[in-house]
Amino acid sequence: MAEMDFKCFVSQTHSVGETEKIGADFGRYLLEKGEKTAFIAMYGDLGAGKTAFIRGLSSSVTPGASVPSPTYTIVNEYDDGKNRLYHFDMYRIETEDDLESIGFYDYSDGMIAAEWCEKIPYALPETYYKVEIGKTGANDRTVTVRKTGDDDK
Ligand SMILES: Nc1ncnc2c1ncn2[C@@H]1O[C@H](COP(=O)(O)OP(=O)(O)O)[C@@H](O)[C@H]1O
Ligand SMILES: [Mg+2]
């Protein structure tokens, strides 16, 4: 497939596998660009496919790691010896104290993919990828990726 540009990307998917594939393509894109500490802010309702997207992301960034679904923990760490990916689920985060108590601000040595970033708008870095997944049918989703806060490159 032609080189994809995830600075501004929108696609329809019709199965969980297709959403995972976009996540996997996105992961390869980030590694090719050397963005080993990218922040990926995930938005979308329960069941939209945020975890599915991150499962795909992990399959290319940290192959071999298994991504639990649904998640019961706030942070899971995936590491294949080459890359590290921290998978956060902010659903239960209510205050910045909660964030600090899980050590959120200390996770700087890997990629971060965080579900429910609606909960932590004040904690987002200056530059990040915003991934929104919207349900448009039982198995249909609109996946949007946009890079924020940086117009260079
Ligand atoms: N096109 C699609 N993309 C992603 N998930 C889909 C799609 N169609 C159906 N699904 C289903 O929707 C659910 C998404 O779950 P999950 O990834 O855990 O969502 P979230 O993390 O956003 O709550 C799964 O049961 C998956 O099989
Ligand atoms: Mg989820």
**Whose alpha carbon is nearest atom 7 of ligand 1?**
16
Please state the atom number of ligand 1 nearest to the C-alpha of residue 70: 18
pLDDT tens by residue, 52-83: 999 999 999 999 998 887 667 899 999 999 99
Its pTM surpasses 0.85: yes
CA trace torsion 40, 43, 49, 55 (10° rounding): 20
How far, in Å, from the CA of 19 to the mean position of ligand 1? 8
> Is there a domain that residue 106 lies in?
yes
Q: How many whole angstroms separate alpha carbon 31 and alpha carbon 56?
A: 14
Q: How many whole angstroms separate alpha carbon 114 and alpha carbon 1?
A: 28
Is the minimum distance from the CB of 20 to ligand 1 under 6 angstroms?
no
Give the closest residue to 139 by CA, choosing from 24, 48, 9, 44. Answer: 48
For residue 42, what are the domain limits? 8-148
Give the closest residue to 77 by CA, choosing from 63, 67, 91, 87. Answer: 87
| Residue 138 pLDDT | 97
Q: How many whole angstroms separate alpha carbon 18 and alpha carbon 58?
A: 15
Per-residue confidence of the chain (153 residues) as pLDDT tens digits? 556 899 999 999 999 999 999 999 999 999 999 999 999 999 999 999 999 999 999 999 999 998 887 667 899 999 999 999 999 999 999 999 999 999 999 999 999 999 999 999 999 999 999 999 999 999 999 999 999 986 655
> Is there a domain that residue 97 lies in?
yes
CATH assignment at residue 73: 3.40.50.300
Distance set, CA 133 to CA 10, 41, 105, 152 (Å): 10, 11, 25, 26
Mean pLDDT value across the chain? 94
> Is there a domain that residue 126 lies in?
yes
Please state the atom number of ligand 1 nearest to the C-alpha of residue 115: 21
Total domains, the chain: 1
> Is there a domain that residue 2 lies in?
no
Q: How many whole angstroms separate alpha carbon 45 and alpha carbon 135?
A: 8
